[in-house]
Amino acid sequence: MGQVMEHAETVEGYEAVPLALPDQACLPGSGAAVLRRRSARPGRRAVMYVHCRGDSFAPEDLVGWYTDRGFHFYAADLREVGADERPGGDGNQVAQDLGDCFACLDAAAAHMREVDAIDAKIVSAHGAGAVIAALWCHARRGSQPADALVLASPSWATAPSWPEWARHGAAKRPPAARPSPLLVGARRRLRRGLDIACPVLVMCPATGWNAPGACWCRGR
């Protein structure tokens, strides 16, 4: 570890967490940050929420549900990593961007374990963040960085699969945001498969936008 990443801006109700990063990480100055909201109840359990470009921030009711039950809540803000437009999708740059995401998550996990004495951790994300969280848990499976992985509507595919009833109204919907080069490259990595050494919960609409569904699956 050779650098300390600090973030001056905070979100209301959160405090910034300074992270020790390896010398080769390119994150300082990128806008990446980790924010923390402590539970009023003492405990050594926590949730790390992975927040990437194009995703909304963690819903307040979700944060409150965890903190009310003694979980401290950490948000890894990676929205600015890989935000630059690069025609053609530079594979080397995507690898660097993924490495920067993983370095931030590694440092956050180390801080939670070594500084805040967290001994049970859930990693949670949705959309693009769910793709990055899954790839990180796959890449770090030897150390099992999470006790459980919760993915809500993960952005696996390059385009949404519209149900038949929605096709007639598709023209009325705003066009989908263009995925970042980081997300495009991360999706390519998914084709190699995932090996995640903890229970995984994947939640997505079952039949339509307002019909929730969920499925537990086990890594390995």
Would you state the pLDDT for residue 184? Answer: 86
pLDDT band at 33 (very low <50, low <70, confident <90, very high): confident
pTM, rounded to two decimals: 0.79
Residue 75 predicted with pLDDT over 80: yes
pLDDT band at 176 (very low <50, low <70, confident <90, very high): low
Would you state the pLDDT for residue 214? Answer: 52
d(CA 155, CA 159): 9
Mean pLDDT over the full length of the chain: 79
d(CA 34, CA 110): 12
Ordered by where they begin, the domains of the chain are: 3-218 (3.40.50)
More confident residue, 62 or 216: 62
Residues pairing with 35 in the sheet: 16, 75
Would you state the pLDDT for residue 160? Answer: 42
Helix (H, G, I), strand (E, B) or coil at 20: strand
pLDDT band at 164 (very low <50, low <70, confident <90, very high): very low
Of the ranges 88-102, 152-166, 201-215, the best mean pLDDT one: 88-102
Residue 72 predicted with pLDDT over 70: yes
- Range in 51-55, 100-104, 131-135, 158-162 with the lowest mean pLDDT: 158-162
DSSP states of 128-193: HHHHHHHHHHHHTTTT---SEEEEEEE--SSS----HHHHTTGGGSPPPPPPPHHHHHHHHHHTT-
What percentage of the chain reaches a pLDDT higher than 70? 68
Residue 131 predicted with pLDDT over 80: yes
